[in-house]
Amino acid sequence: MSIADQQPMMTRLDAIVREHGFEHFGFAELETPISIDLYDQWIDKGYHGEMKYLARHKRDKRQPNAHFKRARSAIVVTQDYVPHPSPIAEWPLSDSIRIAGYARGKDYHRFLHNKLRALCAKLSEEFPGEEFLSFTDAGPVLERDLAARAGLGWVGKNTCLIDRKRGSLFFLGEVYTSLELPVAKLTSEEVARDYCGTCTRCIDACPTGAIVSPREVDARKCISYLTIEVRDPAPLELREKMGPWLFGCDICQTVCPWNVRFHGKEKLDVLHPEPNRADLVEDLRFLLTSPNRNLERVFAATPLARVNGMGLKRNALTVAGNQRIHELSDLIKTFFDNPRLGQLARWAFEKANSDNKAE
């Protein structure tokens, strides 16, 4: 099919994607990712930590159509999350407790996946005989590589995909399709084009030093990994560096000049305002006193469900220690005999009472 013959198809495809709420999207050929060797090296260094599934995904990431033999192209979409596109009416915590911006609402694995499924259903109707399969972060897809090849941005020094007009505070989603789309095939040099320049704000701002070199993150040091991906408390040498973060972290994004330019410093400051101590105390009290099942029910529709009730209590104890919340000393002591959290509770109690400064 000539490019001229394909133009009506691309025009209709473009319209359908926009009709389903995606304004920023692109198309890419499904082929071996340009960054796959770097990914393999990252795995070999052990930087993925306990996320063993990332190592298991290596073959499928190298061969994007390994399980979808007819797949030829990908539609890559973004979804901004500042402000959050799917907020929760009665969020149980104040803004004084630090939670990554993407997690302050419904879980994107659900609402973005539903949007993509609806898109696939419409595309299947419009293009009978063709196949469409959607992914939202959970699949074996090198998303940022694919998005960069679709012209949606470049991989910054913090390893996030950054767009010069939209920053990086957005979700990525993909639709693999059997359609052979007339995409512009970018060279590895074009995909690797860098607009970070000499800026190192993300590297300098990371409290735990997780960005070990430009575009290389040791997940084992990352606050997001430590608060979400692992079961045990963070190592002592990293624990105090985690500061007030209960779930996730987006420091390396909110300091990025491209996000400041797009969103404005005021909007980013609102995302994580200076904490009010009284509110923070009550947030932590709620987390530490609520039964685990109640916490899991309250946060069931949000990303916080990833860590379950015990994980939220673990993270709350870390915050209580780091923020010297001596007001909760008696409550912290009730965890001393907990087989999973006892050591952490003793550490938090010691830190909370190490001085009498009310911050």
137 noted as active-site residue: yes
- Cis peptide preceding 233, ω within 30 of 0: no
Q: Where are the beta strands (DSSP E) in 6-162?
A: 25-29, 73-80, 98-99, 132-135, 154-155, 161-162
Residue 291 to residue 283: CA distance in whole angstroms: 14
Beta strands 98-99; 245-247: pairing state: parallel
In a 13 Å sphere around the CA of 115, the CA atoms on its Cβ side amount to: 22
Q: Residue 265: in which H helix or E strand, if any?
A: helix 265-271
- List strand residue ranges (DSSP E) for 184-311, in order: 211-213, 216-217, 245-247
Which residues, in sequence order, are CB contacts of 273 under 8 Å at separation 6+?
Answer: 95, 96
Task: Single out the catalytic residue among 40, 60, 137, 279.
Answer: 137
- Report the DSSP pairing between strands 216-217 and 132-135: unpaired
176 φ, ψ (degrees, to nearest 5): -80, 140
CA 93 vs CA 42, 46, 250, 269, 289: distances in Å: 36, 35, 18, 18, 14
Unique residue bearing structure tokens 């004084």: 96
User: In this structure, what is the dihedral angle of CA atoms 300, 306, 307, 310, given to the nearest 10 degrees?
Assistant: 30
134 touches 25 (CB < 8 A): no
Q: What are phi and psi of 46, to 5 degrees?
A: 80, 15
Judge whether 170 and 25 are in contact, CB under 8 Å.
no
Question: What would the two tokens of residue 7 be?
Answer: 């133009």
Residues marked active site are found at 137
